[in-house]
Amino acid sequence: MVLRVHKTKTIIRVVASIIIALALVIIGTSIHQSLSNEFPVGLIAAGLLLFSAATNFRSNRVSSWIFTLTFVAGMMLTAQKSNQDAMLPANTLGFTWSYGAIALVLLVSIWPRIRSKA
């Protein structure tokens, strides 16, 4: 019975990581160009959302990597041109969001897990 509960929790976390990763691709791509007095508030907000979600999924290695791979795949799809209209514009904020977000989520996933010995 304990094994079933553990498998069910893992499946729920994996499905949640896929949904949240795709949602963050959409939200981050939508808001990363927002500026307030030439300050990139949208990029910072998207980065903070991404960082908090990525660190949330670190407790389970499988869901952490599923989150990372889903996010990277989603970002690659938004960078593609479909009908000559790219979702990520080729400007500084667009490049920072596309490459910086991928680097951030990969860095969070590969960062060593430090456990207390207490």
What per-residue confidence (pLDDT) applies to 29? 86
Cα-based distances in Å from 62 to 4, 34, 50, 57, 58: 17, 33, 18, 9, 9
Interval 33-62: pLDDT, tens:
778 888 888 889 999 999 999 888 888 788
Is the pTM higher than 0.75? The answer reads: yes
Rounded-to-integer distance, Cα 56 and Cα 111, Å: 13
